[in-house]
Structure 1
Amino acid sequence: MSRAVKQQQSMSVKPFKILKEYQYAHTAISELLHEIDTPDPQLVYLYGPSGCGKTALMTSILPEFIELHPGLSLKLITASEFAAKFAAASTNNRIPEFQRKFRSLDLLILEDIQSLANRVQTQRELLSLLDEIMKQGGRVLISSTNPPGELLHFQKKLVNRFHGGVCALISPLKYQSRLELLTFWANFEQIHIQKKELSSIAHKKAISPRELYALLTQLQTVSHINQEPINSQFVKQYLEGNIETPKTSISKISKAVCREFKTSLQEIRSANRSQQIVIPRQCAMFLSRELTKESLAKIADYFNRKNHSTVIHAYRQIQRDLKKSPGLRQQVSRIKQRLGIYLF
């Protein structure tokens, strides 16, 4: 099995619909990925506000790319993760190995490039990497919240590489597109809600597709917990924040975290200090402190920690990471969504 197929199988892709606001970007990405020979240009730079659907759009086309190009290698990674891997390779004197892994890629998808602001060495490495990938006929897909010309503290040569590709904007969804997307998702998820109620949600405010999806599925969760139908009155009370938030517990939070991170309660309550376990454990501690009234000592005891200072450290660490990691923010939002906790 190719690395590309393994990568795709590990992705969590929710149903996606090509709306009017996505059409140009969708065409640009399709041409980049569907071309059998080396595409021209070889780079697409996708930009728009956080949550506008950049990741969903990119990953929705990947299965077709894998089918058309069996055996090719791809990697989808955030710019923050790329910077962390480069820093680790530099610290451990493993730069050549790092370069071999990335420069051999046939498709690199790098998300949230704006997070590399002021990272001079990482920008230089990325510039060299892009040149090498494209020299070998590879393809590059970049996403950002800003157009290339508004990337502050970036090397001019790197910005020029972005300008040299196709730059595609995804605009915030208008009312009709929000309604169309909500209707599509409600049908897919088999949520029993009338078009009138969907219209009320779509009219609420110009929120992102990610927030719309979270709101809709969260509405279903709260309806199920409260055993109430999703009618006009229920939707109105929910949107106004007048429905009591379902109570949760350390146990429920931990199970939701394990589901999101694909691990087990046994692991996050163990002494395992691997990064794959530390992050979900810290998230569970963070949310337990944020969403319950339990004492720090009780939270620490649940996770088999001797001192409540571990919980304080975890809380502060996740607070810091949430500011710089869009991926982690999405994961925490999905966990809250599963728990029926309001996101607005």
Structure 2
Amino acid sequence: MAEGEQARAWTRVRANLRESAGQRLFEQWLKPMELVEGDDRDTVRLAVPTPFAANWVRSHYADRLLLEFRSQLPGVRTVAIETRAPGVEVLTAPATQSSATPAAEPVKSTDAAPAAPTTARATLAERPPLDPRFTFERFVVDASNRVAFNAAQALAEPGTPRFSPLFLHSGTGLGKTHLMHAIGHAYLAHSPEAVVLCMSAERFMFDFVSAMRARDTYQFKMRLRGADLLLIDDLQFIAGKDATQEEFFHTVNEVMAAGKRLVISADRCPQALDGVEPRLISRMGMGLIADIKPPEPTLRRAVLERRLADLPGVAVPASVLDLLADRIGSSIRELEGAFNRVVAYAQLTGERVDVDFAVATLGDTLRGSQKRVTIDEIQKLVSQHFDLKALDLVSARRARAVARPRQIAMYLAKRLTTRSLPEIGRKFGGRDHSTVIHAVKRIESLRDQDREVDGAVRILLRQLEG
């Protein structure tokens, strides 16, 4: 393959990436990539400045780059992402069409120093175990978490930190760990040679106890206190562990005295941490304390839309997203888990995703989080909302001013109660179950087309679910 063909293809691929990734992401991660000249007809080699950038591109864009190049040059089988820096071995991790395709051999820079390869590998091995999904760009923000999000971004900025430590607290599954990993990603993006350590408080305790048993606490101390950014998750796990708290206290003091960055998370605010020494709580209060509140329905809905956007080709109607966002409110983690379960079951069974399928798939999960609502309560609230008499909903009147609220009430009864279709029909003037099915399908369709109907349903759902 002529090098000119690769160069022309790379120009078109870059243009496509700029358009699809957005300006900020493209400028930060994709623009620095350069095409490396080579003779291999099957392989396109792209170089980035640092090992961290190479890892990021491999994690997020390896498959996309391969598809883009193959759309331009069908003969391409491999896109190799390399690190290209003076005196450092070039490491490759190809994105291949199949996991069985052999990996490209490491390509060495012509001026690499003999000891550089070991250094490069050591640097990669010491990178913290940060989840590539947990970035600031993928964190959905609203009033419940905006202060914590802004504080996390501020701590990750280059230059002298404005505050340290940052203490994040919330219930489980609301985004503390996501923000901690996002801080690590953002900090390493502008300071790739920095030392970043990320661990749970339980891991801190385990490593400390192991060091004491091995009579080698010096290395443990130096490792933690040498970090430029130290991330400690779930501090509540060291409550009542006096020796561990003693060491943690001295670690915090050393990190703060050196002007370095420290992030700590827990399931409650420092003052509510039973079994934690007062002097340690006092140190936590010297920085910034930010909480993450339980998510509102609008945030839960936005999280689901983000997850759906990550799954091209997967169809999940708005009514199902609304069902999950309305019923599962205690934890973003639980919400995403329910969404993943619905999608996975649909793919395994080949069935279409709709409200009935989601209810059948998530049965116990939805029932466990559901407020007990009766059809009588639904009829009363719908009548008040549309300024009707309660008897109108069970009457034989077919005027649209009555028929549409009646359909909405049936839809809500199907969605919020465990009553069968015939039972719902009987509660609405002895109507047949097929009438209920028609009403549910009609309102589901109108919610995607008619803002007035959708708005009314949303208001009624909020009121009924408290």
1:239 aligns with 2:362: yes
Larger mean Cα displacement after TM superposition, 65-74 or 4-13: 4-13
| Residue type at the aligned position of 2:236 | Q
Change (3 A) 1:170 1:152: same
> 1:79: which partner in 2?
201
Change (3 A) 1:8 1:102: closer
1 CA distance for matches of 2:171 and 2:237?
A: 14
Change (3 A) 1:4 1:29: farther
> 1:13: which partner in 2?
132
> 1:89: which partner in 2?
211
| Alpha-carbon offset, residue 9 of structure 1 | 7.2
2 CA distance for matches of 1:241 and 1:177?
A: 23
Change (3 A) 1:7 1:49: farther
| Residue type at the aligned position of 2:358 | V
Q: Name which one, 1 or 2, has greater alpha-carbon Rg.
A: 2
| Aligned Cα root-mean-square deviation (Å) | 1.9
Q: Check whether the contact 2:165–2:287 (CA below 8 A) recurs between aligned residues.
A: yes
| Residue type at the aligned position of 1:148 | P
SS in 2 for 1:189: coil
| Alpha-carbon offset, residue 72 of structure 1 | 0.9
| Residue type at the aligned position of 2:345 | V
SS in 1 for 2:197: strand
Which of 154, 166, 169 aligns to 2:288? It is: 166
- Gaps (5+ residues) in structure 1? 243-344
Which of 253, 261, 277 aligns to 1:139? It is: 261
| Alpha-carbon offset, residue 195 of structure 1 | 1.1
> 1:49: which partner in 2?
171
Q: Check whether the contact 1:5–1:66 (CA below 8 A) recurs between aligned residues.
A: no
2 CA distance for matches of 1:200 and 1:97?
A: 52
> 2:277: which partner in 1?
155
2 CA distance for matches of 1:68 and 1:4?
A: 16
| Residue type at the aligned position of 1:47 | H
| Residue type at the aligned position of 2:168 | L
| Alpha-carbon offset, residue 105 of structure 1 | 0.6
> 1:195: which partner in 2?
318
Structure 1 residue runs of 4+, over 6 Å off? 2-5
1:109 aligns with 2:228: no
2 CA distance for matches of 1:216 and 1:202?
A: 10
Q: Check whether the contact 2:270–2:281 (CA below 8 A) recurs between aligned residues.
A: yes
Q: Check whether the contact 1:112–1:144 (CA below 8 A) recurs between aligned residues.
A: yes
TM norm structure 2: 0.49
- Give runs of aligned pairs for residues 1-344 of structure 1, distance below 5 A: 1=51, 10-14=129-133, 16-20=138-142, 21-37=144-160, 39-190=161-312, 191-241=314-364
| Residue type at the aligned position of 2:133 | K
| Alpha-carbon offset, residue 111 of structure 1 | 0.2
| Residue type at the aligned position of 1:94 | D
| Alpha-carbon offset, residue 136 of structure 1 | 1.6
SS in 1 for 2:305: helix
TM norm structure 1: 0.66
2 CA distance for matches of 1:156 and 1:61?
A: 27
- Gaps (5+ residues) in structure 2? 1-50, 53-121, 366-466
SS in 2 for 1:19: coil
SS in 1 for 2:230: strand
Q: Check whether the contact 2:271–2:281 (CA below 8 A) recurs between aligned residues.
A: yes
1 CA distance for matches of 2:325 and 2:124?
A: 36
1 CA distance for matches of 2:326 and 2:356?
A: 16
SS in 2 for 1:153: coil
Q: Check whether the contact 1:4–1:74 (CA below 8 A) recurs between aligned residues.
A: no
| Residue type at the aligned position of 2:261 | R
Identity within the alignment, %? 22
| Alpha-carbon offset, residue 6 of structure 1 | 5.2
| Alpha-carbon offset, residue 17 of structure 1 | 2.6
